[in-house]
Structures are given as C-alpha cells and as structure tokens.
Amino acid sequence: MSALTVLVTGGLGFVGSNVVRLLRAERPDWRVVVLDALTYAGHRSTLGDLSEGSGLRVVIGDIADAPAMEALFAEERPRAVLNLAAESHVDRSIEAPAAFVRTNAQGVQVLLDAARRHEVATFVQISTDEVYGALGPDDPRFTETSPLRPSSPYSASKTSGDLLALAWNHTYGMDVRVTRCTNNLGPYQFPEKLIPVAIAAAMDGRPIPVYGSGKQVRDWIHVDDHARALLAVLEKGRPGRVYNVGADGERQNLDIVHAILDQLGCPDDQLSHVSDRLGHDWRYGIDATRLRQETGWTPRWTPEAALRATVQWYVDHQPWWRDVVRRSHSS
Ligand SMILES: NC(=O)c1ccc[n+]([C@@H]2O[C@H](COP(=O)([O-])OP(=O)(O)OC[C@H]3O[C@@H](n4cnc5c(N)ncnc54)[C@H](O)[C@@H]3O)[C@@H](O)[C@H]2O)c1
C-alpha cells in the first residue's frame, strides 16, 4: 500500500496506542491521525514518546458525534480507518451499559457513514472474540463461522458494531474488514483489567482480586502481535471478511496470577478470591488459521515471554501507571 492517511480511533487507549507506535515505526511515510475522546481509559501519555508533526496528529473527539466526524473526514480525507475507539471493560458495562451502546454501536454507525460519504478505501472494525460468547472446557475453539452469542452488555454492544460494519459491506459495497481478537497483554494497559491490576496490587503489597475459582480460561496475545495482525488485515486482507486474531495462548487466570506473583517474588497468599462476575464467561479460545493463511501473519510472542515482558514493563514504568490511576480517581 502506498503512502496514505490512516485514521486510528481510540489511539490514546491500550491497543490503539500500540497500533499507532507500530505504524509510526514500520510505515513512517503514512500520516496517522488519532481520534480519541479521552475517556478515563484514554491518556495522552500513552503516546508521550511520539511527537506530533507532519506524520502524526492527535484530535480529541467522540466517534458518535456525527457533525464532528463529518468535519474531521472532510479535513483529513483518510484512505483507511482502524476503529479501536470503544468502551472496553465488562464490569463497567454491567454497572452502566448506556455508554457502551452509544460508543460501540452508534459510534460505529456514525464512523461508517462518514467513511462512506468520504470514500474511505478500507475500514477495519476492531471487534473481539467475546462476540462468540463462552466455550466449555472441551469445545473446539471459535472459528469465524461460529455462532455469535455475546453474553455481557460489553460483548453485545461490540457485536452490534461488528454486524453493522459487515452490513455496510453487504449493503453499500464498502471495503470493510472485521477482526475478532483474544485478550491482549502488554504495555500501556490501564490498570483495571486482570494483568495490570494484579501486577499493580502485587507491587504494592495489596491483595490481588481473582474472580471466583480463578479457573476461567482466557486466550492471551501480546498487544504487538495484535497490532501487527491489524496491519496485515489492512494491507493483505479481503473486503467483507472476518479475521480471528489469536496466538494459541489459552491459560487459566489463576496460572497467570501465580506467574506474576512468582516473577515479583510475592507470596501466593496475596491472592484473594472474590465473588464471581455476573454471567462470567468460562473460556475463550480462538482459531486464527484464516488470518495466518490469507495474510501470512504469525505471532512473535509466546504467552510466557509476553507475560514476563509485561510484568517488567510495569515495574519499569511506574510513573505512567500510577499517574493514570491517580488521574482517573480525581476525574
Ligand atoms: N484489550 C483487549 O484485550 C482487546 C481484545 C480484543 C479486542 N479489543 C478491542 O480493541 C479496541 C481497543 O481496546 P482497548 O483495550 O485498547 O480499550 P481501552 O479502553 O484501553 O481504549 C479505548 C480508547 O477509546 C477511547 N474512546 C472511548 N470512547 C470513545 C468515543 N466515543 N470516541 C472516541 N474515542 C473513544 C478511550 O478514550 C480510549 O482511549 C476495542 O474495540 C476492544 O473491543 C481489545
């Protein structure tokens, strides 16, 4: 793909900021426009090491704000869109679902409309493996043709965005591609999800909350492998296609927490079982054969190496995560 302007929404969040960093490093002739609403999960410091200039612009705005999106698309004329803007935390979706429907469903419709009006060449909708619901212990892993059975307000709102994106391909012939990735780990994840929460608590000598038995299985992938998969889908994927993204990383939550405690030299009794999340999905597992075969993508990280590097990153970047936690408490 030749030089282009790519719009990365949610680029100040966890996955989005890692995507922006990858694009700046590996496609330096592309212009990257970041759009982010700076919710509690978005922080300018996630891109603090990158300077704005001709290759990077950061715009603060809301994907569900149609007039603002119309103005942005008219001004920037992006050739490609990677939509990572989302409300992303299941627990928050159980407490307050409205923002999830607004951003994850309505926001996608607003972006798709703007992209169609302004003749965006390729639109990648970043969805999630949670659209498939949960697996039993011995079920085969999800493929792209598995039925969609979302179970939380978060996953139901993401499924809405996912299906809207595919409908824009079917109805209007837009080049839309959808990715469904497993759980990410890596740098710049806001400490509200299992791994950064566990690392932060372990480092501060606080109890580490583990839902229920802790035997739930998640399928882990390093965020850099996810970012590379999105680039592969953008450059080598096919219109109207869904791509599962996963790195064969199924592990029990309990094993993840024990490995973190072990690496940090903390005692096992720092782990504290708390009441399980309502409707908690038991197991996720993704078959990413299509992505590998059609784009040549392969993961670079094993789950063990990814976890070790992530723990070390949080040890080395305490000012970053302590600051974003403090800001989220004071806002
Ligand atoms: N983190 C994972 O493990 C994972 C796995 C699979 C898929 N995904 C998907 O990747 C995407 C990014 O996830 P994440 O973990 O980086 O989430 P995140 O919560 O860390 O970041 C989301 C970003 O979107 C921004 N945002 C929220 N509402 C917005 C709006 N209305 N307009 C503009 N920006 C808005 C936030 O400010 C934040 O910067 C999501 O779509 C998520 O479903 C994440």
pLDDT in the model for residue 87: 97
pLDDT for residue 278 is more than 90: no
234 pLDDT above the threshold of 70: yes
Report the residue among 14, 33, 63, 152 best suited for mutation to probe ligand 1: largest number of ligand atoms under 8 A from its CB: 14
209-222: average pLDDT: 93
Q: What is the pLDDT of residue 3?
A: 65
Q: Is the pLDDT of residue 328 over 90?
A: no
Q: Using a 6 Å cutoff on CB, does residue 229 contact ligand 1? A: no
Q: Provide mean pLDDT across the span 114-132.
A: 98
| Residues 132, 142 contacting (CB under 8 angstroms) | yes
pLDDT over 90 percentage in the chain: 90
The predicted-structure confidence for 181-191, as pLDDT tens digits, reads as follows 999 999 999 99
If one compares 11 and 211, the residue with the highest pLDDT of the two is 11
Q: Measuring from atom 22 of ligand 1, which residue has the nearest CA? A: 13
pLDDT digits (tens, 9 = 90+) for 78-92: 999 999 999 999 999
Superfamily (CATH) of domain 5-252+261-330 = NAD(P)-binding Rossmann-like Domain (3.40.50.720)
Ligand 1 contact via 115 beta carbon (within 6 Å)? no
Q: What is the model's pLDDT at position 330?
A: 77
Looking at residues 11-33, what average pLDDT do you find? 97
Q: Could you give the residue numbers annotated as active site?
A: 129-130, 154
Output the CA 75–ligand 1 centroid distance in Å: 24
Q: Which of 39, 110, 160, 327 to mutate to test the pocket of ligand 1 (most atoms within 8 A of CB)?
A: 39
pLDDT bucket at 270, cuts 50 / 70 / 90: very high
Rounded CA separation 183/163 (Å): 20
Domain ranges across the chain = 5-252+261-330
Answer yes or no: is pLDDT of 31 > 70. Answer: yes
Please work out whether the CB of residue 15 comes within 6 Å of at least one atom of ligand 1.
yes
Contact 121, 237 (CB under 8 A): no
Closest ligand 1 atom to 46 CA: 39
Helices (H) and strands (E) in the chain, counts: 12, 12
Residues sharing a CB contact under 8 Å with residue 243, sequence separation 6 or more, in sequence order: 144, 177, 178, 179, 180, 229, 233, 237, 288, 290, 291, 294, 295
pLDDT greater than 70 at residue 1:
no
Q: Taking residues 282-292, what's their average pLDDT?
A: 95
> Global pTM?
0.97
Quickly state the pLDDT bin for 311 (edges 50, 70, 90). Answer: very high
10 lines ligand 1 (CB under 6 A): yes
> Closest ligand 1 atom to the C-alpha of 189?
20
- Tell whether the model's pLDDT for residue 218 goes beyond 90: yes
